[in-house]
Structure 1
């Protein structure tokens, strides 16, 4: 769905939430193949039984990718990703966990490029138990109505 939104139309503290997505063994195997990260924490069920969490965990980069994908419910032709900051993985995500994302606008500021502003979104990812598993800031470069 296309939703064109100018910088001036973003509201501080505005919140949106995504639907859920269950992380599967297939997700982990495909991500390992794509990235080359075959660490035993993700791939070796028997070895993981000897570790503190006792089971395989999803790659942090997989959770980041899925979380970002969940937030992409609308296409805003007037804004683009400028970057991500302060990325943290606060709890592991395991096979069978379902993640959802809460996005909150935390800052609106001018950008050096005339006609654009920066929108900062706090991206909080939770598991099915409402435990925070990942957090970061997403920065958008958004076009202004009036330059």
Structure 2
């Protein structure tokens, strides 16, 4: 779906929540192959059985990638991703955990150099099926203004 929203259209506090997605062993194995991260925490079931969590954990970068992908439901030709800040892996995600993502507009500010754009912050919170927060970060969008701002 295509939605054209300018900087002025974003409202602080607007929130959206995705459907769930279950993380599988195949997800972990595929991600390890794509990234080269074959650490035993993700791949070695027997070794993990001797550790604190007693089972394999999904890569934090896998949960981030899948979670952000889950929020990509519309295309806004007036905005683009400007990056991510303050990412934290709060709790581990295990095989067969189901994650859900809530994205909330938390801040808007002027772009320091572009009068034609602003920056919109979206607070990302990924939770598991027990409603425990497993990952948080801020997603920044570079968004075109309807009318360029004047320098102050």
TM-score bucket of the superposed structures, by smaller chain: over 0.9
Q: Secondary structure at the match of 1:76?
A: coil
Secondary structure of 1:134's partner? strand
TM-score of the two chains, using structure 1 as the length reference:
0.99
1:32 aligns with 2:26: no
User: Structure 2: which 5+ residue stretches go unaligned?
Assistant: none
| Farther-moved stretch of structure 1 (103-112 vs 130-139) | 103-112
The runs of 4+ residues in structure 1 deviating greater than 4 Å are: none
CA distance in 2, matches of 1:66, 1:47: 26
What are the ranges of 5 or more consecutive residues in structure 1 without an aligned counterpart? none
Measure the CA separation in 2 of the matches of 1:108 and 1:85.
15
| CA positional deviation for 1:4 | 1.1
| Whole-angstrom CA distance in 1 between matches of 2:127 and 2:114 | 35
- Count of aligned residue pairs for this structure pair: 147
CA RMSD in angstroms, aligned pairs only: 0.5
Match of 2:142 in 1: 141
Query: Deviation of residue 146 (structure 1)?
Result: 0.8
Deviations for 1:63-96, whole angstroms, at most 9, x for unmatched residues?
0000110010111111000010000000000000
For residues 25 and 77 of structure 2, the distance between their equivalents in structure 1, rounded to whole angstroms, comes to 34
